Structure 1
């Protein structure tokens, strides 16, 4: 699994190792690099110069699977936006993905100016994130062609999407993770639209042309995620439009609802945790009941969304 704490320095070094079979970058102190050297054994230190890291058998395949596509797209994006992509940048891959999402929605964001705290909280989940990261903040300013955030408008309903000119379907996502992976929209020819939490009011403005496409919802399979799905389903019903809940890949990656970063728990005192039985088919109900019984959930980010969409779109055809 990709370590989101890896910065551009480590990413560039790994890319150098892939292309040149070695790097002189001082990255041995990073825990993930040490893992690749000592535990995974796909990197090693050169015998006659331990400051040089070299690749071993298995590294090329590993890099192509875990990093290459994302690094190449991220590097191209930075260069195309006039942001120098060198080892001095301390961006993480996840931060660059977020910058890509911001650029994708540039015109929408510029039309509804906000303050730095709300913008930071919306895209980086922490209100002071951009205040504490000068380089990243400057990159956001460069992408949006601004020098600072106006401080007089605070509440916005942004339409955050990854567009396609003639999509086969529209996928509403509870979280923004898949929107940061723009190749998903390209490889499946779908429009990805962030509609989660309190951000569902924007559905009121969907035009009739867009409603003609099949609609799917991708979310965490926990109480909060499925409640949002029910609210969306109810809202779209007023427009005579149905939406299909995307079923997680099997085998299901179930985890406890009581892990540190998760705060949505099932209501064990209500039938189906208070969800409406009629909103789900038999297969979905069985999975939900199992999750409730074992107090587990399935994280949206664990889905192989491309494979799920290939199957549902093929069936639709």
Structure 2
């Protein structure tokens, strides 16, 4: 059953009637055969005097738990399957342990939905889990929390290193003399175990709240010598999707970077994948 069906059965309990489409469910078909409910006409069914006792015993508590979960998290307009609702309840109950252990998207999918591939970013279910856990995203992969991805350059002797916020560049062909690093978005704590490069070292990112926040954190707390990679012409500006909220520490930026930030804030941003730079030429 899905949430809509649960609501209809509860409506039958409280109001005595509901839509006859509920008869498509095998459980309800059995209940009809056992005279717990009966069809009024093509569009409606009504309960008999036997319905309340069986509904109270088998489904009322579950309905109340589901409804409470959805109301608290502002998810009442969704129509999750019963097994998904049960999983969300378990995630809610396990919230503290999930956050403390830093469970990844695949781990949560495996533990609560029985398949590592069950969850997809951007889906209604994925966003519901974010609400239940009160987080902005789930770690993509448990390995991203521990390992640094490196795309070595063709010459094997890099003249510079570019650390990328996103994985776009690292999935392209190797550069001649530039080594590419990728840690997985905000998953930068692992960098504390990496020796700071002595060759020129740059951060390639979206010029938006998230990208600038990550850059500032890295430069302040991990790699003081890293510099943000400044896009070269042509620079493609996009209308901002999320209002600028990041507090900019201008002491961490070169004059050229400050000038670019002045062009962006408060209405524009730059997407990493659109950034042009000679060091990225293949």
Give the TM-score of the pair, scaled to structure 1. 0.42
Give the TM-score of the pair, scaled to structure 2. 0.46
